[in-house]
Each structure stands twice: as C-alpha cells, then as structure tokens.
Amino acid sequence: MIIYYFMKWYLGWMAKLYYRRIYFKGYELIPDGKPAIFASNHPAAFMEPIILGSTVRSPLSFLVLASYIANRWLQWFFRSLKMVPIYRADISGRETLKKNESTFQYVYDSLQKNAHILIFPEASTSFVYQLRPLKKGIARMSVGFLDKNPDKDMYIVPVGVNFIHPSRFRSDVFVDVGTPIDLRKLPAADEAVMINQIVKATSDGMSKVVYNMSDEKKQNTTAFCIQMIDNSFGGKRSVFGQILRHDATFVHRIKNLTVLIDQMSDEQFSVLENKINEYRHLLRSVHLTDSVLVPSGTSFFVFALISLLGLPFFVIALVLNSLHLLFSWYLRKFRIERQEFQAPVTLAAGAIFILVSSLIFIILGIFLEPMLLGMVVALPLSLVVGVFYYDHLEYVFRKIRWILLESTKKDSLNVFRNEIISIIVK
C-alpha cells in the first residue's frame, strides 16, 4: 500500500503539471464505504486512471488490457498499483480467456470488502467526443457479484473524463461523476435480461456525463468553443492558479455546451463553424490565441516581472530537465503515432526520469558527496518552476503582441469573439 499511495500522489502531481486545470463535479455522489464499479469513458489511454486515482479519496483498482502489463519482472509493481489484467480473445487469443476467471474473482473479493473498481466498458481507447457501445463485461461482473452476495448493495458509478484535447500540454480536463446506479433497484430478471438492463442503465448514465456528439465532424469546432468558454468563465488567469477545482456548475455548463452544439441544425452549425474558422484564421495570422483577449486576474506587469525575475531559474530548470524533455519530445514526434498515448507516455517519461535520477543522486550523495542529496529536491522543484514559467512567458509574449497589434485587427478579433460567444452562451 505504501507504493500505491506514493504513486497515487506522485503521478497525480505529474498530471496536475501536464494539465493546467482539472475541474471536478459530483465528488459527493461517490458511495464511500459501499461496493462500486466506476464506469468511465476512455479517450486518453492511461490518463483517466491517473486523474481519477489521484483525485478520488478511496483507493481504485482498475482493469488493464493484459498485454500492457505482461512484463513478468514488473508484475509486483503492477499489483502494488492495483492494476488487474483483463484478457481479450481478439488480442491475446481465445485460450487466454480462462485467465479472466481470476480477474473476476479479484473483482468479487474486492467488492466484498466495499472496494471501488475502475472499468472502461468501451474496451478500447479513442479520442472522440462520443460514447461508444459498451461491452458486457461490467454487467457480467456485477451480476456475478450479486449472485455471490445477495445481501450486499452494489453500485455502478458513471464517470466522464472529458478533455478539450488529451495530448495538448497545459490544456484542461473536466471530470463529471454521475448519479450512482443502485443495481438493487433494477427490475428482477433472469441473468441474460439483467445483464442487458445493467448495460443499458450504465450507458444511459454515462451519456449524461460524457461528451457525446452524434456527428464526429463537429468535434473540432466544439473543442474550440469549450476552450473559449473555459477562457471566459473558467476562472481568470493568475500567477499560480488553482489546479484542482471542485466546480459542479462550470462542468455542467461545459456539458450543456456540447449538447447545444450537437443539437444545432446543419444551417446553425454552419454559421458557427464559419465564424470560428474566420476567427481562428485571424488569430493565427497575428500569432495569438483566444485566451489573450480575456482579461486576467493579475496585472500584466506582474506577469512580466515574474518572467523577468524567473529567467535564471527557468534556464536552470531547462538544464536539469533537458534529457527527459528531449526524450519526451522525441517520443511524441517520432515514436507515438496515436494521440491518445502522447500525454501518458510523456508523463511516464518524466516520472521515470525524476525517480531514476533521484535514486542515482541518493546513492552518489551517500557514498560520494552529501551535497548531491539536494538534487532530490531540486529536480522536481525545477520542473514545477519550468512549467509555470513557461506558462507565464508564453502569456507575456502573446500579450505584448496584442498590445502592439493595430487597433483595426483588435476590433475585428473582438467582434468575431463576441459574435461567437453570443451563439454558444445560452
């Protein structure tokens, strides 16, 4: 458990550096002290278990495709992180399905102890604003547990982990926990019917918390609209902004925005899309982003002063982290083709680099030079400094461009922005 809680904190800390803000809705709905399966969408490979595992109070076990955790030398590590293998016939062969019996038993034993299990019932990862058809595994596990424990409660908790864009560094995440499904309240039926009832109830619950666009072609426009609303109403930019925000109202507002755009007629959406395309083209032509048009919560002078004073520390941070930054860039540029895996692999590369480097400096500090022990603190601290300084410097440069921009282009950008906001804010 020591390794689990350390990694829960450590990977959560890394995720909160990668993403600028994580909004959370529905924390109070989680049935603490009762057996529950969390049913989450799966748009970003390993980021959902990291985000949920680090923000939910209770320990989360989660099912992972067996091929991802097949290394026999690391089995002890995977088990300590509560990663449980699940086998699929189309990937590992039909003969491996027998191994799922031990996985199911692990789930039953854990739920018997009122544990929480995280499952991705879509059974694959893909970044789309869409809830894909659910597999029946979650229902079979639920029915199996209820059969073995007829006097126990059992809940399925629908969860939406929604990204503006999962691989984009310093983007935002919106976690939406839905109303738990009390399986005891479903109509009594035989096993086959009960399985179908649970799948439907889970799908209905997830559709209320997952961004679910009927037309995938609307996704890019919707993502940009979410970013605009986030810039406008998600909290003003400050020197050190709050990262984890329990803001049910705002998460609900963003979800409603996706519903609004999804329900637009072709003509209405075409008007919105054309305005956004013109607005984005003008932004790109002057090397600006939408956020610079929104007043910040801190004066520009403070941001500029921080950028000036922080430059020496930023240079040190770049030097100390140069190896893992270059390695992460190389992985994203040349080795990772699917965008769903870019963020988790980048995060993992940084996490491993800091852990291995810290271990090396501990050994060197003990046997050679005690002063080197200070690097154990300097490495993660420099990463924090580097990330926040990068944010400030990027904002300052864009704000300077905005200040120097000719007034006619400023007016055009503001007109475009106000017209778009008037369409998407209801």
DSSP alpha helix (H) spans, 122-265: 137-148, 191-207, 219-233, 248-262
**Tokens 């058809």, residue?**
133
CA atoms of 17 and 241, how far apart (whole Å): 12
Residue 381 has pLDDT above 90, yes or no: yes
CA atoms of 313 and 310, how far apart (whole Å): 5
Q: What is the pLDDT of residues 302-321, one digit of tens each?
A: 888 888 889 999 999 999 99
pLDDT band of residue 402 (cuts 50, 70, 90) is very high
**Mean pLDDT lowest for which of 71-80, 140-149, 320-329?**
71-80
* Residue type, position 24, single letter: F
- pLDDT at site 238: 67
Give the residue-averaged pLDDT of 192-208.
Answer: 96
- pLDDT at site 113: 94
Give the residue-averaged pLDDT of 149-165.
Answer: 94
- pLDDT at site 185: 93
The set of residues, in sequence order, having a beta carbon less than 8 Å from that of 159 and lying 6+ positions away, is 38, 39, 40, 41, 52, 175, 176, 177, 178, 206, 209
pTM, two decimal places: 0.93
* Residue type, position 423, single letter: I
Domains of the chain, CATH where assigned: 2-216 (3.40.1130.10), 300-404 (no CATH)
Residue 2 has pLDDT above 80, yes or no: yes
Q: What is the pLDDT of residues 269-300, one digit of tens each?
A: 999 999 999 999 999 999 999 999 998 777 88
* Residue type, position 227, single letter: Q
pLDDT band of residue 116 (cuts 50, 70, 90) is very high
Q: What is the pLDDT of residues 168-190, one digit of tens each?
A: 899 999 999 999 999 999 998 89
The per-residue b/e assignment along 257-273, b for 16 or more CB within 10 angstroms, e otherwise, is bbebbbebeeeebeebb
Q: Among positive and negative, which fits the CA dihedral 324, 362, 16, 318?
A: negative
Q: What is the pLDDT of residues 85-111, one digit of tens each?
A: 888 877 777 777 888 889 999 999 999
Q: Are 420 and 275 in contact (CB under 8 A)?
A: yes
Residue 240 has pLDDT above 70, yes or no: no
- pLDDT at site 351: 92
* Residue type, position 401, single letter: R
Give the residue-averaged pLDDT of 202-229.
Answer: 95
Q: What is the pLDDT of residues 337-362, one digit of tens each?
A: 888 899 988 898 899 999 999 999 99
